[in-house]
Structure 1
Amino acid sequence: MFRLETFVLYDKKPKSITIRNYTKKDFDAIIEMERLSYPPPFPQELLWEEEQLSSHVDAFPLGCLCVEMDKKVVGVLTTMIINYDPDEPHTWDEITNEGYVKGSHQPKGETLYVVDINVHRDFRHYNIGRVMVQSAYYLVVKLDLDRLLGCGRMPNYHKYAKDLSPEEYIEKVIDGEISDPVISFMFKCGRRPVKILANYVEDNKSRDYACLMEWRNPFKNVPKLPQQKFLKDMKDIK
C-alpha cells in the first residue's frame, strides 16, 4: 500500500495533499476528471473506461496512484512493471495491451513503465504532476527496480513540424531554444531522453510522436539505456 501525506505550494501558501493508491471507489472521479481535462476534439475513446481502470487495480494495485486535495481527486498516475527490450520499438497500445495493463504487467520485470499521468485541469498550477512523478520514483526504489520509463507527448511539435524533424525538435528543447509543456516538465523531474517513437499514440499536436525518457534507480549501478544517436550528447545531464 502506498500513502504519502505532504504539501504543495500555491501563491506561497501550503496546501495539504495525499498521494495514495486508487481503488474502484475512485473510478467515477477519475473518469470525470479525464473528460474535463481532455474535452473534444481530443479522441474520447482514448480516455479511461471503468473496465480498463479495473484491470489496472487487479493487475498492479500498488502502481495505481491518485492525488487527493480537499477530498477531491486531482491527479492520477498509472504504472506497470515490464521487461524492457531497447531493440523493440513499441506503441502505447502494444505495450499496455490497449490500456488494459493486465495482459502486459510483468511482476518479475526490471522497469516501471508509466502508462498514464493526468492532472485535473483546474489544479495544474500546484506542481501535482511533479509530486506524482516523485512518487513513481519511490516505487522504483521500494521495489528494487532498475529504472522508470515513460513516453512523453510533444504537444508543441506541431508548431515546428514543417521545419524540424522530431529529433531536431527534442534537441532544441534540450538546448532551451524551445519549451514543450511535457518534455520540459520531464527534464525538470530528472528524466533523460532515450529515443523517439513514431506512431506511439494518436495525437495530432505531437504528430503521433513521443519521446521515451528514463530515470535510473540511484541505489543500483544501472547502466544508461542506449541513447538514439541523433540526440546530442547528454553526458552532462545527470
Structure 2
Amino acid sequence: MIAKKILNDTFLIRNAKVEDAIQMEYVQSRCYPTLHESEILDRNHFANHIKVFPEGQIVVEKDGIIVASASSFRCDFPEHDSTFLEETDNLWITNVQIPNGDWMYGIDMGVLPEYRGLGLSKEMYKARNEVCAALGLKGQIIAGMTIGYGKVKDQMTIEEYCKKVMNNEIIDPTITPQRSAGFRWIRPLYNYINDPESGFGSILMYKPVDENYYL
C-alpha cells in the first residue's frame, strides 16, 4: 500500500479510502469538462473501485484536501480494441477486474487545474509502478486521451493527428507528458471515448516495471 510525502513534503500520496470518494468525484468533475456525462466517474464508482481493487486507487492530498486521484483495475493484456465503457464495465470495474491479471489498467487520472504543472501526475504514475512491482505485475496500461486534437480539428483528421503526435511533430497536452513519463506507444483507439475535443480517440500505451521488457 502507498502512503508517503512527495514534492518536498508538500503533498501526501496514498491509497484511497471509501470516505475519499466524494472528493474524488469533485476532482473528476473539474478535470473533464468536455467528456460526456455517461463517462464521468462519480462517488459510487470510486467507492466500488476501492472495494474491488484497493491497491490500485490513489489520491494526492494537501492539507487534508484531495487535489488529485487515479483509478485502475487489474487485468490481462487487452487483445482487442473496445470502448472506454466496455473496457471499464460501464465505469464500475467489477466484471473486468481479474484478480490474477498481469497488468494494471489505469482508467482515470485527474489533477485539479490549480495544481497542474507540479508533477503530480508523474508521481501517481510512479506510485502505480510501485504497486505493480509489489504485486508482481508486468506494468501499467493506459488509454491516453488525444485532448489536443480539439485545437486543430478543422485542419486534420484524428488519424492524421495521431500520426503527427506519434512522430513528435505535435505536442499533445496529455499524450506527450505520458510518453515523457515512460509510457510506450501501442496503437491509437478510435471511437474509444465520448469526447469531441479528443476526436473521440485515445492512444493505448504501456509502461513496464522492467524497462527491458517489450511487448
Q: Same fold (TM over 0.5)?
A: yes
Which one has a larger percent helix, Structure 1 or Structure 2?
A: 2
Match of 2:111 in 1: 119
Q: 2:131 maps to which residue? A: 139
Alpha carbons of structure 1 residues 127 and 142: separation in structure 2 relative to 1, 3 Å: same
Render the CA deviation track for 1:174-222: whole Å, top value 9, x for unaligned.
Answer: 4332111001111110111101112211010111111001111217x64
- Superposed CA deviations along residues 11-56 of structure 1, whole A, max 9, x for unmatched, are xxx45111111111111211122223334x5433432222211210
Unaligned runs of 5+ in 2: none
Amino acid at match of 1:58: K
Q: Secondary structure at the match of 2:81?
A: coil
Q: Is the 8 A contact 1:29 1:73 kept in 2?
A: yes
Aligned to 1:5: 5
Report SS of the residue matched to 2:160.
helix
Tell me if the contact between 2:69 and 2:110 (Cα under 8 Å) persists in the aligned partners: yes
Q: CA deviation at 1:69?
A: 1.3
Residue number in structure 1 paired with 2:14 = 20
Matches for 1:80-229 after TM superposition, within 5 Å: 80-86=73-79, 88-218=80-210, 222-224=213-215
Q: Matched residues in 1 for 2:130 and 2:202: separation?
A: 24
Q: Which residue of 2 aligns with 1:230?
A: none
Q: Aligned partners of 2:214 and 2:36: how far apart in 1?
A: 38
Secondary structure of the corresponding residue to residue 28 of structure 2: helix
Match of 1:59 in 2: 52
Q: What aligned pairs does 1:29-40 form with structure 2 within 5 A after superposition? A: 29-39=23-33
Corresponding residue for 2:43? 50
Alpha carbons 2:149, 2:158 under 8 Å: kept: yes
Deviation by residue 1:56-86 (Cα, 9 ceiling, x = unmatched): 0110011110001121101101111101243
> 2 CA distance for matches of 1:138 and 1:177?
32
Amino acid at match of 1:166: I
Q: TM-score, normalised by structure 1?
A: 0.83
d(CA) in 1 for partners of 2:173, 2:214: 28
**Whole-Å separation in 2 of the counterparts to 1:2 and 1:15:** 15
Structure 1, unmatched stretches of 5+, are: 8-13, 225-238
| Equivalent AA in structure 1 for residue 51 of structure 2 | D
Q: TM-score, normalised by structure 2?
A: 0.91
Q: Which has the larger radius of gyration?
A: 1
Deviates more, 1:98-107 or 1:164-173: 164-173
Give aligned-pair identity as a percent: 23
- How far apart, in 1, do the equivalents of 2:151 and 2:5 lie? 39
- In the alignment of these two chains, the number of paired residues is 215
Q: Please tell me the residue identity of whatever aligns with 2:4.
A: L
Q: Name the Cα RMSD after superposition.
A: 1.9
